[in-house]
Amino acid sequence: MKNKITKGHIAAFITIMIWGTTFISTKILLDVFTPIEILFIRFLLGYIILWIIYPRRLSFQNFHQEKYFILAGLSGITLYYLFENIALTYTLASNVGVIISIAPFFTVIFACLFLKQKRPQFHFFIGFIIAMVGISLMSFTQSSIQINPLGDILAIVAAIIWAGYSTLTKKISQFNLNTIQTTRRTFFYGLIFMIPVLLTMNFQVNLSQFNNLTIIANLIFLGVGASALCFVTWNTAVKILGSVKTSVYIYIVPVITAITSTLILKESMTWITITGIILTLIGLFLSEQHYKKTEDSIYELTE
């Protein structure tokens, strides 16, 4: 049991380590592709890679089971990234980064409503507040705080959508199916739902856009690493740890981003940023404490 729990934490940490660095690849690719083009290409590539890794077809069982794959694809693959990208066009990236980090709070609400999970104790909410203070310090170090109602509301919607995706993922894990197959099925529906968006947002990809090794390398990183690998590891973590416990790892994304910006983009690491990192990690630790006592309980096995 302890080894299984450790595996879940490692899977969540690997996911966040990669997701925290994707902004670099996205920033490079935005010189050549539009956000929706990047989104479609990375998940199409991820879908193909998952077929290559595990070429066994997941058979259709019934609509009751299939609807969870449909909703997961719509929410976690299409709507989340769509709302996040649109939010970035109306508000600051720092605003979006902070707001998206409240997803664990909504995950708690959904887990209590739909997964019959017990409400977290005081530690979780104290940890949440401390982590949000830390994330805010990191996000607003380089930019001033600006309120952009439309963009900020869209970012909140994206956070709610991700919480819904995590809850759906936990329900899917209860079917006891192969995680690669279920992730691939989710990608399939996500790609299907992207098609109407592509048709309305002037999707124009041609071979000349792939004549640069840097572009190809970053697409591979997003498609293979950030999509195929990370969604499998994230779904594995949710299956083992539960939706809430896994979702608090989202707090670390701004930490990884801040460190990566310093190491790769040579951005300055101020004492405010360092304070934010420390507070965020403290918040993560406190949010995890409620579950330490129940890791071996029936709840952890059946959540």
- Interval 3-42: pLDDT, tens: 888 999 999 999 999 998 887 788 788 888 888 899 999 9
Q: Which DSSP state fits 251? A: G
Alpha helices in the chain (DSSP H): 2-19, 22-29, 35-53, 63-72, 80-90, 93-100, 103-114, 122-139, 149-173, 179-200, 213-220, 230-241, 243-247, 252-263, 271-292, 298-302
Is residue 112's pLDDT more than 60? yes
* pLDDT (mean) for 87-96: 74
Q: Could you read off the pLDDT of 135-160 as tens digits, one per residue? A: 888 776 655 556 667 888 888 999 99
pTM for the model: 0.84
pLDDT at 186 over 60: yes
pLDDT band, residue 299 (cuts 50/70/90) = very low
Tens digit of each residue's pLDDT (9 = 90 or more) over 50-61 = 999 999 999 988
